[in-house]
Amino acid sequence: MVAKGALYFLLSVLITCGPDLALARHFPGRPSIHPAPYQPYKAIPLSSTRQKNKVCFVKPGHSKGHDDGPAIRAALHKCNNGGTVVLDKEYTVCSPLDLRFLKHIDIALTGKVEFCTNLDFWQQNFFTFQFQDAASWWVWGGEDIHLYGAGTGVIHGNGQAWYDAAAANESTRRPCLFITDGWHGGSITGLKLRHSPNWHNFIANSSDLLISDIDIFSRSFSSAWAANLDGWDTFRSDNVVIQNSVINHDDDCVSFKPNSTNIIVQGLHCNGSHGISVGSLGNYPDQYDIVSDLFIYNNTMANTTTAARLKVWPGAEAIKKGNPQWVGGGGQGYVRNVTYDTMINDNNNLAIQIDQCYGAINASECEDHPSGVILEDILFKNMWGTANGADDPVAGQLICAAEESCDNIRAENVTLTNPSGEPPQWQCRFMDVDQLDLGGVGCIPA
């Protein structure tokens, strides 16, 4: 959604990437969207002025199988360093795009960009990351970049082809819809993200970034499960605000992966997710994972498995569940200074889940091989709403692996209602119950 008062410029001079565009066209200027109500931990740097006569309109091809990737790349090169690229038509990308050269540029994506469904080609031509097999068909990065959709721009991943392929062959590598790798300063606003094959957004190695007014919707329309469709995953990133967005999908609404610091998440409506999650962490032995200074404010969680969630792997030696995906553990690190404040629960399994035994086959394995990732200074406050009865009367789980692995875990003004009318129970292990105002019957042994 574009902020009121966004200006529309009529260009007097036109730089075009399409040979038939002889007349200037209208396009929306960058919207005036700011972090609110809470400000980022550090001020996001001011953007340099864009030149009104340095604009590239990208003309799409119309032949069958045409690849608009080269034209988009050419426009971004041509109008880099002070210009604006306008993507106001329908485009198809069939080749990988490395866009980590961007600098002082606006991109008005008010049309639609979708990706070819040539799965065999993409399997061999993704940009790949070592962390949890993340991959994508394009990667964005640089300095002072503003990408905005004015409430109409669409990025479409044609996810159904990928869901069906993964159901037939679980080794199919599914791409993330959007990846940043080294994006420093700027914003991503007003976009519709549709049918991602995998995570919608992987925010990696980036900083000083505002993400706002995003509309996410991904579902499978066949018997194939549309799994792992996280809204945002942050990784090795600092000073990021994610706000005022609607997410309808499967898996984590937001997930803070290793070395996510100084992040605010506010004003989200997450439907059908696994919650706003810290982790999973401690997945890789010999790695030290840090997550710190997170403020998660005024979010609505509907039809979720868990609303507020922290998930940490046990020691590497712990026996894991039989699912082939449950491998890992043994890493070290800490989660520190995390606040969940004002969270509405609407028909959720659990309101809070601390799981420091993520993937362990049972509690004894977790206790024998506790996690090396320490949880400290965690606060849950002002949480209310309804459970869905899936775990009735249990409304949450606060489970640490050992007494020394959790410190200063607090809860204030947490009130949940069970559909049975039974007072909520909270399964706890290695918790200081004097710091937990959870309502209901409070903590019971896990």
Q: Just list the catalytic residues.
A: 274
Interacting residues of 341 by C-beta distance below 8 A, sequence separation 6+ = 295, 296, 297, 298, 379, 381, 382
For residues 300 and 342, what is the distance between their CA atoms, to the nearest angstrom? 9
- Is residue 153 within 8 A of residue 176, CB to CB? The reply is no
Q: Which of 298, 302, 378 is nearest to 334 (CA)?
A: 378
C-alpha to C-alpha distance for 179 and 199, rounded to whole angstroms: 9
Strand partners, 269: 246, 300
Helices (DSSP H) in 259-384: which residue ranges? 363-368
Per-state percent for the chain, helix, strand, coil, to nearest 5: 10, 50, 40
In order of 305, 346, 394, 424, the CA distances from 419 in angstroms are 16, 12, 11, 10
What is residue 208's three-state secondary structure? strand
Give the list of residues 6+ apart from residue 86 with CB closer than 8 angstroms, or none: 25, 27, 55, 56, 57, 58, 108, 110
In order, the DSSP letters of 57-74 are: EPPPP-STT---HHHHHH
> Reduced to 3 states, what is the DSSP secondary structure of residue 381?
strand
Residue 277 CA to residue 187 CA, distance in Å, equals: 23
Do the Cβ atoms of 9 and 27 come closer than 8 Å? yes
Both tokens assigned to 168: 């037939």
Q: Residue 189: beta bridge partners?
A: 148, 212
